[in-house]
A and B are shown apart, each in its own frame.
Chain A
Amino acid sequence: MSTIAMGHAGTDAAPAEKKGLWSWITTVDHKRIGILYGVTAFLFFLLGGLEALLIRWQLGAPDKTFLSPEAYNQLFTMHGTTMIFLGVMPLSAMFFNYFIPLQIGARDVAFPRLNAYSYWVFLFGGLVLNASFLFNAAPDMGWFAYANLTSKQFSPGLNVDFWIIGLQILGVASLAAAVNFFVTIINLRAPGMKMMRMPMFVWMSLITQVLLLLAFPIITVALVLLMLDRNFGTHFFVPSGGGDPVLWQHLFWLFGHPEVYILILPAFGVVSEILPVFSRKPLFGYAAMVFSGCFIAFLGFGVWSHHMFATGMGPMADTVFSLGTMLIAIPTGVKIFNWIGTVWGGSIQFKTPMYFALGFVAMFIIGGLSGVMHASPPADLQQTDSYFIVAHFHYVLFGGSIFALTAGAYYWFPKMTGRMLSESLGKLHFWLMFLGFNLTFAPMHILGLNGMPRRVYTYSAGMGFEFWNAVETAGSLILGFSFLVFIINILKSLRSGAVAPADPWHGATLEWSIPSPPQEWNFAVEPTVDGRDPLWEERRKAGGTLPEPARVSGAGIHLPSPSYWPIITAFGTAMTLVGFLMHVTLWVILAGVAITMLGIFSWAFEPADH
């Protein structure tokens, strides 16, 4: 029997609503940190989008001189780095933060202060990375930073160093957050929520945290080696000293390929929440969805060299990595079929979140199919490093991740803000984004197969690339405009949107059982769960409708107290790493370490106020 008792706990005076900048700086509330992640990541996402628009403008016609080669190389490098590390990953982190505790029926994450620390480190990492623009030294060697172009000999400026340090700082944030969410999911589930009853978003998030924990140490080590090469005279990747540039490629993709799944698995989770709710029908093949996710993540660590077929690894390695990659198509296919199985036979409610979720499925299929094509090394020898690949991964990361995250934003916005977004603006956003996305990225398939290499700041007239590039640039403007509609929708809704009920979509999961937005303690009474779709079961028992949950007093509920030590510790961490930026600036490092130690010490011994 499932009970989500919305008890009326106590009638003592409720704790005062926390307001003002200071309350945000010191917050340890997972919901506020989620919003901080979301707002910050969305701003970085817009910055990455602006970089993309500049790139597209430059490529709109052949031989353009709108951007210098140097500026172009900085922009494409920063576009990739920003979208991955400062856009999609933290946008996923917004949902992890806000909804993992709510979906598992917890009052917060396992380590609320560590959670705040993660956010601040992420913010500082993003700022350090982008501060490079102020020094005219933005990273300019591609987000993959292939050795030996990154050696001091060929990249003497600070560009590569900014990238190394920025990513190291961001890695700290990712690892701390991954530990936190992993422990949260394992330990803080509501009574009765067995692993195989967890919402699919929580499952995919759990797998993502495991990937983060295993993949980020690899890039951390690779970055340390690169830093040693550049500033301390070692030769890990420098051929003149006996090092091997191919080693970098192995280390980078050993991280980089699992990273692809870090970017897409949360999206799988979001879509697996939305499709059932708007089909009024449970997720099709729950167990298969869980195991295919695990299988994808596991295989994801064994296929990294499919990024390297052109390096000439030899036929045996090519064969093994090719077959491994093709194998991933099977669990991925299972997911797609199960999503279609979910809507099949349902009663589909065409609301904005559903539009974006279905857009995700439709676009992700295309990205998956082109992925199978270049899993075959002979085909890949023509496709790799061409625009065909650019098309492929934008169908996966934009058509996939961004469509799904946008779906999630429309789905959960009422819960997070207590306001409904406009449906008509939402649908306008969808159609503009769908049109703009396909106009921008579909022609890249054609260009790539017809010989346009990627990462080029221009192309010559007469290569035949003019027409589709012009189309793509036009498409990118529509795509950019669609996000303007999104922003207008958000701002309008925050000012004057309809007030959201607790459960505007007839959701299945626990977050819809509490008021919108949730009160600081989430659940006045800990819920108990005995099924996969607890709220649906509850509603069925109640004869179809549930009463609107009342906002209650939280007196007597223990919550972690706010603290400014996480931001101070984060500042110390970032400072320590910035000390390594050029030549080791010893006093910066020492001061950074001192601040970090002070922060950790004070945080550990800070008395909790009640």
Chain B
Amino acid sequence: MALRTPSLRRVARWVPALCVALAVLVLAGCSPDAYPQTTLAPKADFAELLDTVFRRSFQLATIVFFLVEGALVWALFRFRGKPGDAEPAQTHGNAMLEVVWTVIPAVILVFIAIPTIQTIFKTAEVPTDDPLVIEVTGHQWWWEFRYPEYNLVTAGDMHVPVGRTVDLRMTTGDVVHSFWTPQLAGKRDVFPKRDNRLWFKTETPGTYPGQCAEFCGTQHARMAFQVIAQTPTDFDAWRVGIAAVSAPPDSGAPAPDPLVAQGQQLFATKACVGCHAVTAVGAPTMVGPNLAGIGSRSDIASGWLPNTDENLARWLKNPQAVKSGVLMPNLGLTDEEITALIAYLRSLSVVPAPGAVAMTAAGN
């Protein structure tokens, strides 16, 4: 011990500096800004309701933590035994004290239970303020979003308008998944043959990442998606744009790029068409995700692989090497075919034409 003391002292000199460094790191690491998927910076009403309850329980827990751990640590220093100490008083208990520390936690719990129950019932209410209904279906391992109001279907990106409640009706095409966009709402599991509900309304346009939160097999980790909240104008432009993707060309349309035409041909002959629809309007649920708008999505392979030509080529070359276990087999495509297919997929982009909204509005 005598040998060790000086070195301990030398170490002790660094303790304040270490503590400051650690505190800075922890604070930086705890700031929700660094986490796009955080639960601590709610951006929709549902998530805010949850956050309020969490904050209440977190504050109470923090107080209890410091009191109880403080009492424990204090006792350890205060009642440290020394050699030759007499036997301490042999107390067996104290009825009064034990009643007090049974009652106090009960009272604290009441302060958590009341907002809990209020929020449970608030969040269970189905919204009635003309919500936008979106039917969500989980698949191994991607998400499908259907908009009955517009007869549209899409995958991967869920577009929602700000300022309007979104009413999610959720199920699964295969196993149990859980839909989770932390900044907008809590989790809700999806079950086969059952409609589970979730809702939220956000006022803040933005892109909110989410991902599956119930273990669902090999690629559970790669079952992400994003909710893109847009101003009503932008949202309308998007839905008109995606409805126009791959719509039958009208007579005045320019002739397609020959590479795109080759890609379209390959898409039809190389089995792609058996699993993927390329129109968003009224398309049925198929084995693979709907590809209308794929050209302009930010990600492929369900919300984690940047939608670059290089990544698309990797995927088409051998999907199993990129995301093992997915249903899409290796189609044995040549590099030439892949180039043509990428050109075709890029042509399936959402291009909101100026004035498109007005046109459909008139059409309606």
Contact = CB atoms under 8 A, between A and B. Distances in A.
Contacts of A315: 120-121, 124
A20 B180 CA distance: 58
B221 A69 contact: yes
A543 interface: no
A68 interface: yes
B228 interface: no
B72 A146 contact: no
A285 B92 CA distance: 6
Interface in A283-338: 283-288, 310-312, 314-315, 318-319, 322-323, 326-327, 329-330, 333-334, 336-338
A451 B39 contact: yes
B38 A245 contact: no
Contacts of B220: 73, 455-457
Given A311-B191, A340-B72, A450 B39 contact: yes
A154 B141 CA distance: 13
B124 A311 contact: no
B81 A322 contact: no
Nearest to A443: B29
A362 B69 contact: yes
Interface string A273-284: 000000111111
A449 B324 CA distance: 29
Contacts of A347: 79, 81-82, 85-88
Interface stretch (A33-41, A378-386, A415-423, A587-595): A378-386
B91 interface: yes
Closest 8 CB pairs of A and B: A381-B186, A451-B37, A456-B221, A347-B81, A450-B35, A464-B35, A239-B192, A315-B124
19 contacts: A146-B214, A148-B176, A245-B192, A281-B89, A310-B186, A319-B117, A327-B109, A341-B97, A348-B79, A373-B54, A378-B116, A379-B116, A382-B51, A382-B186, A450-B32, A450-B39, A450-B40, A464-B36, A464-B38
A460 B54 contact: no
Interface stretch (B98-106, B232-240, B344-352): B98-106
Interface string A431-467: 0000000000001001001111101111110111101
A85 B49 CA distance: 39
Nearest to B37: A451
Q: Interface majority SS on B: helix, strand, loop or mixed?
A: mixed
Interface in B18-34: 25, 29-30, 32, 34
Interface in B63-110: 64-65, 68-69, 71-73, 75-76, 79-82, 85-94, 97-98, 101-102, 105-106, 109
A146 to B, nearest CB: 6
B325 A70 contact: yes
Contact of A311 (B68, B94, B189): B189
Q: Which of B116, B123, B212, B215 has the most CB of A within 10 A?
A: B215
Interface residues of B, number: 94
B360 interface: no
Interface of B: 25, 29-30, 32, 34-40, 47, 49-51, 53-54, 57-58, 61, 64-65, 68-69, 71-73, 75-76, 79-82, 85-94, 97-98, 101-102, 105-106, 109, 112-113, 115-117, 119-121, 123-124, 140, 174-176, 178, 180, 182, 185-189, 191-193, 196-197, 209, 211-222, 224, 304, 324-325
Contacts of B187: 310, 381-382, 384-385
B120 A310 contact: no
B93 A284 contact: yes
Contacts of A383: 39, 54
A69 B324 contact: yes
Given A141-B215, A310-B178, A378-B119, 5 more contacts: A310-B214, A361-B72, A372-B57, A379-B116, A381-B185
Interface in A37-51: none
Given A348-B76, A460-B304, A372 B65 contact: no
Centre residue among A310, A380, A457 by max chain B CB count within 10 A: A310
Interface in A41-88: 68-70, 73
Contacts of A384: 187, 213
Nearest to A281: B88
Nearest to B112: A376
A579 interface: no
Q: Which among A286, A336, A464 has the greatest number of chain B C-beta atoms within 10 A?
A: A464
Contacts of A149: 175-176, 215-217
Contacts of B39: 382-383, 386, 449-451
A462 B298 CA distance: 14
B16 to A, nearest CB: 19
A358 B178 contact: no
A449 B182 CA distance: 9
Contacts of B40: 449-450
A183 interface: no
Contact of A154 (B94, B124, B175, B224): B175
A287 B93 contact: yes
B106, B116, B178, B188: which has the most chain A beta carbons within 10 Å? Answer: B116
A345 B92 CA distance: 12
A99 interface: no
Nearest to B325: A69
A312 B189 contact: yes
A119 interface: no
B38 A451 contact: yes
B61 A370 contact: yes
A366 interface: yes
Contact of B191 (A141, A245, A456): A245
A319 B86 CA distance: 52
B102 A330 contact: yes
Nearest to B33: A464
A318 B75 CA distance: 39
A318 B53 CA distance: 15
B182 A382 contact: yes
Contact of A326 (B53, B85, B93, B113): B113
Contacts of B115: 378
Interface in A343-374: 343-350, 358, 361-362, 365-366, 369-370, 372-373
Nearest to A343: B75
B215 A372 contact: no
B64 A369 contact: yes
Contacts of A361: 72
Contact of B218 (A73, A245, A467): A73
Nearest to A366: B65
Contacts of A460: 224, 304
A530 to B, nearest CB: 15
A534 interface: no
Contacts of B193: 239
A184 to B, nearest CB: 27
B64 to A, nearest CB: 6
Contacts of B186: 310, 378, 380-382
